[in-house]
Amino acid sequence: MQWNRSLALLAVLLIGPVGAAHAGDAGKFNEIDADGDGTISLEEAREAESDMLAEEFEQYDADDNDRLDQGEFARFEGTQLLNFDEYDVNNDGEISAAEAEEYGPESLSGNLEDYDRDEDESLDEGEFAQFEEDQTGMTEESPKFEEYDTNGDGVVSLEEAEEAGPHMLSENFGQYDTDEDENLDEGEFAQFEADLRAQEEGGMQKRQGGGM
């Protein structure tokens, strides 16, 4: 069954306290942010032994300030998905809950039970393949920064958010405008994208639990 849904349907999922979706990403962010200043430096990424983050640091540093804020880190988290073998670090043919928690994104560890169809507390290659398929579908349907930044000035204004529709972003605009400049930069918009994916995952879980 296809789990992909249009952005119009996702609007329904976003009704309620959207901020709750930040919790998973914030935990990993705070672990890497060793000095607690609210950003992650390249040195902190290296000290945390997060090789992928260190290697791709510049790619996600949207404002080129040599640090990643929570929005920029959320974009990194949302796009990182390795192949089965790289998560199955002990090579036993299964991704355990511990391996998913230690090496996977929040979308994997947080939803492991939903894909663990034989309820053995791990994912085999078939179960992981379903997770990959669902994640790919959600990424393809996610709104893109360029689609909202219609005048190409590098930020999304409230007016642009309202015109882009549906109004998921405009209704929660202030929540994502962390520097209160009445615009969203790519890092701030990335947090909206991350929350949107988290809300879709929640809706997908409900449909799975309902036997659809």
Angle formed at CA 79 by CA 75 and CA 80, multiple of 5 degrees: 115
Residue type, 177: D
* Mean predicted confidence (pLDDT) in 8-26: 39
Beta bridge partners of 183: 157
Phi, psi of 88, deg, nearest 5: -85, 75
The pTM score is 0.40
Structure tokens at 177: 């405008």
> Where do the structural domains in the chain lie, given as residue ranges?
7-209
Q: Is residue 108 within 8 Å of 87, Cβ to Cβ?
A: yes
Q: How far apart are the first and last CA of the chain?
A: 8
| pLDDT on residue 167 | 63
SS3 category, 118 = coil
β-strand pairing of 183-184 with 156-157: antiparallel
What confidence tens digit (pLDDT) does each residue in 144-164 have?
777 888 898 989 999 998 887
What confidence tens digit (pLDDT) does each residue in 67-101 have?
998 877 877 776 555 678 878 889 999 999 999 88
